[in-house]
């Protein structure tokens, strides 16, 4: 467990020093939301119908961008080899990197969501949204970390990650959008339970499966 934290801490430290990824991903997420606001008329009633979709498209795209950089940076600086030489199990590396991506994405979401809620004129205080975000983000990073490590070892890493990532996370996107819709419409919490349940199942299944197959992805 300590080893997981060591990898996580290393990522946080290097991120704090560089700040490059966080800033650009944040900016990108905000841009997606703004571009969508122009694509749909914000004065129109239909905006309420597309709002949950806009939020999650922004997070999905921003997530891919962040995940892409996660291992690419290690690769460029030759750190992945160093990490591989560490006397730890491969799945420790997975859990450390996964936790790093999770914290990173949550930070992006914490900053972007209020901006989104203001732009789309939605209630600012929605505790359910935090739960949805945590479940969806775990889903994203569980497979995202695996595919990010896979894609860095190929010739077309920038293209390959979204190609692998999007088809797999479709259930998470559907559930996150539908659950957010329930939250935005102010419907009772019970209405979103089945969506949260599917996301929870996705998270558990893919955390286990990804940590098991991770070793095959980074093996030289």
Partner 1 sequence: MNQTNSLKYNLLLGLSFVLIMASLALVFLYAPTEKEMGEIQRIFYFHVPLGWIAFLAFFVVFVSSILYLRNRDSKWDTLAHSSAEIGVIFTTLVLITGPIWAKPVWGSWWEWEARLTSSLVLWLTYLAYLLVRSYAREESRGARFAAVMGIVGFINVPIVYLSVRLWRTQHPPHLVDTLEGSMLLTLLIGVAAFTFLYVLLAYHRTTLMNQARKVRILRQTLDEREE
Site residues (CB under 8 A) for partner 1? 143, 146, 150, 153-156, 160, 163-164, 166-168, 170-171, 174-175, 178, 194-195, 198, 201-202, 205-206, 209-210, 213, 216-217, 219
Residue with tokens 């205080």: 125
Q: Which is nearer to partner 1, 48 or 171 (CB)?
A: 171
Least distance from C-beta 57 to partner 1, angstroms? Answer: 16
Q: Which is nearer to partner 1, 20 or 158 (CB)?
A: 158
Judge contact between 25 and 112, C-beta under 8 A. Answer: no
Least distance from C-beta 50 to partner 1, angstroms? Answer: 16
User: Any idea what DSSP says for residue 44?
Assistant: S
Judge contact between 206 and 94, C-beta under 8 A. Answer: no
Q: Which is nearer to partner 1, 118 or 201 (CB)?
A: 201
Region for residue 186 given its phi and psi (left: phi exceeds 0; alpha: psi -120 to 50; beta: otherwise) = left
Least distance from C-beta 37 to partner 1, angstroms? Answer: 25
Least distance from C-beta 91 to partner 1, angstroms? Answer: 14
Q: Which is nearer to partner 1, 19 or 155 (CB)?
A: 155
Q: Which of 48, 94, 64, 121 is closest to 219 using CA atoms?
A: 94
Q: Which is nearer to partner 1, 119 or 213 (CB)?
A: 213
Least distance from C-beta 9 to partner 1, angstroms? Answer: 28
Taking CA atoms, 139 is separated from 67, 108, 124, in Å, by 13, 16, 25
CB half-sphere exposure, 74, CA atoms < 13 A: 22
């Amino acid at each position: 467990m300590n080893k997981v934290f060591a990898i996580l801490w290393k990522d946080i430290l290097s991120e704090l020093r560089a700040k490059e990824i966080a800033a650009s991903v944040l900016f990108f997420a905000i841009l997606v939301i703004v571009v969508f606001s122009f694509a749909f008329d914000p004065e129109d009633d239909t905006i309420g119908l597309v709002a949950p979709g806009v939020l999650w498209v922004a997070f999905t795209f921003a997530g891919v961008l962040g995940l892409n950089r996660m291992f690419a940076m290690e690769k460029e600086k030759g750190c992945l080899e160093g990490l591989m030489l560490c006397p730890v199990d491969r799945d420790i590396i997975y859990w450390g990197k996964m936790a790093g991506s999770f914290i990173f994405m949550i930070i992006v979401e914490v900053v972007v969501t209020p901006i989104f809620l203001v732009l789309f004129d939605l209630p600012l205080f929605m505790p359910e949204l935090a739960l949805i975000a945590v479940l969806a983000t775990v889903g994203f990073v569980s497979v995202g970390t695996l595919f990010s490590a896979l894609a860095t070892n190929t010739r077309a890493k920038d293209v390959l990650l979204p190609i692998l990532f999007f088809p797999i996370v479709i259930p998470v996107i559907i559930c996150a959008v539908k659950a957010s819709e329930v939250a935005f419409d102010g419907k009772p919490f019970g209405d979103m339970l089945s969506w949260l349940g599917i996301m929870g199942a996705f998270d558990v299944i893919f955390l286990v499966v990804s940590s098991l197959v991770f070793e095959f992805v980074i093996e030289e």
